Amino acid sequence: MKDRADLTVVPPLGLGYLATAFRKDGNNVTILDCQKNKFTIRKLADYVSGIDFQLIGITLCSATLQVKQSLEVIKR
């Protein structure tokens, strides 16, 4: 049986729409699901520092529960 958390994960459609628009404009786009890939803040920081991004976006599934972690990600 699946874990309940797996059943409630919904892909961020807004991020998908933005990615599609950027791709249509000729840009390379990477969408990284940190929850699915079990990325820690440190692992994410290491990943991001190894690539020359022009733009990084962060999506919050539930802002009140994830705002502290998201602020830590933005700081790093």
Residue 27 contacts by C-beta under 8 Å, 6 or more apart in sequence?
Answer: 54
- Tens of pLDDT along the chain (76 residues)? 555 555 566 677 888 898 999 999 999 998 888 878 888 888 988 888 888 888 888 776 665 666 777 777 778 7
Q: In angstroms, how far is CA 21 from the centroid of its own chain?
A: 17
How many helical (H) and strand (E) elements, i.e. helices and strands, does the chain have? Answer: 4, 0
